Amino acid sequence: MGNLIKSLLIVLLAGVPFICQRAIGAEVIDLPDRSFQQNGNLYQDDLKRVVTITRGRATVYRLLSKISEQTGLLFIYDSKIVENDKRVVVEPGEYPLEDAVRIITGNRDLRIKIEENYILLYLPNADKAEPEIKKRDEIPSANNQTQEGGHFAISGAIKDRLTDEPIEFATISVNDKPYGTVSNLNGEFIFTLPDSLLDSHIKISHLGYQSRLFKASLLAGQRATFYLDQRIIPLQEIVVRAIDPTKTIREMMAARVRNYNSDPLYITAFYREGIEYKNNISLSEAVLKIYKTGVIYGANSEQVKVLKMRRLASSPEKDTLVTKIKSSINSSLLLDLVKNLPDFLQPQAYLQYDFSHTDITVIDDRRVYVISFEQKEEITAPLYKGKLYIDAGNWALTQARFEVNPKYVAKATDDIIVKQSRKVEIIPERVEYLVSYKSNNGVYTLNHVRGDLNFRVRPKRKLFSSNLHIWFEMVNCKTESSNVTPIPREERISTRDIFSETSYSYDKEFWGNFNVILPEENLKDFIKKYVF
């Protein structure tokens, strides 16, 4: 199966006393509202612009969409403030834009700001509208000061406009700048930037969707819900374009040096790994500085330094497992597939895999070929199956989603479990990986990696089993290409050790101004209840 699956090793022990290390101290903060200034007469004229409501009974979302069609302006708002599905009755007629919005939403306290092609709806002191205690460890402050100056934060949720479903792992970045983060499994994100980028443009993008671009100052200090439109490729084009999948992969491999960085970079990354078994959660999070070598060098040449770190763990039950993840940082580095070629990208891959062109989609408004692969029927070893997303114009690999073939994943037990108690039987049920890249001025860098490993655990001589979920992910939050030198040996950590056992000093202002992946709902609840 190659180095990837064997690089992430799970240590499982049964009946071992578990000592939970906890740091001391907690702090409650209240995020102040960052008010906006109106843009003079032009802003006032836009608000007085007359719009027509022809249908008086509809949902709030439908009526606001009609205003967008008339004005060419797109609405941005927090769905907790404006109820999309609420049905309202409005007297048909002509209204000033400002009045129409307040009548439709039923909220006279709404503030309205127009900038470029967007209408922002928000409440003054919106963060106080729903009182909530926030620990500094949970959410970064929007106005922390550092030696580099002030910072601001943009937060919210990203959803599909058609289905209203959250969009997971969408990329949020600064247009033509080396900053970024991703949304979590609930589509939520927070993006912290220096004040010097207030006039920059923020881009939200995801595979298969039309990208959105808006000015950072429009949403600084605010929370909003962002809706993305699906980008559909006509069926006729998919049928007409005959794409040779193996040739497409060869083109991608030949273009690696051109598309990906050849010189060393510094990457500031947020990293999280977690273990969930029964009602227990163990979580390790860190901000890492990575010395990342060029595309022609392997992962062994890369170095990692821990800038910030914390561990959280719930108290286990008597019959719980002590589970540890080994080499998770190394696995995250190995998931840079264009540097560390897995077996399905090796020159002889056609001997083990069948490849097919199955779709055409888009990302960042660029056409992307979807190449599916699966091991040949006669091969029964635990190999991979998945999809590669290759840019149709420059042949860059933009994303890969793959898993150990579910038919044979049980055979991978010995490759994954490095040490197992005799008292339990553990069988892998699903092992999945996600890798994405982002382009900055035509050069691609690693953007986000995630691994999800699901197991079934059954104590021997017992009838029932329990689920064990292990995951890790890393997101590239900032890339630097100037004055890049190797990390001093005494500051490096071993990427092959058990990361959760790395020694660290607790910092009550853990997040600071670093970008992070927001935790999902179950992790939020766990973090809120945790006693630091």
The pLDDT score that the predictor gives to residue 26 is: 26
The pLDDT score that the predictor gives to residue 247 is: 93
- Among the residue ranges 207-211, 455-459, 494-498, 509-513, the one predicted with the least confidence is 509-513
- Whether 216 shows a pLDDT value over 50: the answer reads yes
Averaged confidence pLDDT in the chain:
79
Mean pLDDT of all residues in 452-466: 85
Contact present, 357 and 369 (Cβ < 8 Å): yes
Cα gap 139→117, rounded to integer Å: 29
State which of 73-77, 128-132, 505-509 shows the largest mean pLDDT. Answer: 73-77
The pLDDT score that the predictor gives to residue 414 is: 81
Structure confidence at residue 516 as a pLDDT band (50, 70, 90): low
How many helices (H) and strands (E) would you count in the chain? Answer: 11, 30
pLDDT in tens, 269-310: 999 988 888 878 888 888 899 999 999 887 788 999 998 888
Mean pLDDT of all residues in 433-450: 93
Joined together, the tokens standing for residue 227 give 């809706």
How close are the terminal C-alpha atoms of the chain, in Å? Answer: 41
* Contact residues for 65 (Cβ-Cβ < 8 A; gap 6+): none
Question: Can you list the domains of the chain with their CATH numbers?
Answer: 3-14+241-529 (no CATH), 40-122 (3.55.50.30)
* Contact residues for 201 (Cβ-Cβ < 8 A; gap 6+): 174, 175, 213, 214, 215, 216
The pLDDT score that the predictor gives to residue 125 is: 62
- Whether 181 shows a pLDDT value over 80: the answer reads yes
Structure confidence at residue 519 as a pLDDT band (50, 70, 90): low
The pLDDT score that the predictor gives to residue 136 is: 36
Contact present, 325 and 288 (Cβ < 8 Å): no
The pLDDT score that the predictor gives to residue 203 is: 92
Mean pLDDT of all residues in 87-116: 88
Residue of 507 and 475 predicted with greater confidence: 475
Helical segments of 185-293, H only: 216-219, 235-240, 245-254, 256-259
Joined together, the tokens standing for residue 46 give 């836009």
Cα gap 419→10, rounded to integer Å: 7
Strand-strand pairing, 171-174 and 212-215: unpaired
Contact present, 183 and 172 (Cβ < 8 Å): yes
Q: 108: which DSSP letter?
A: T
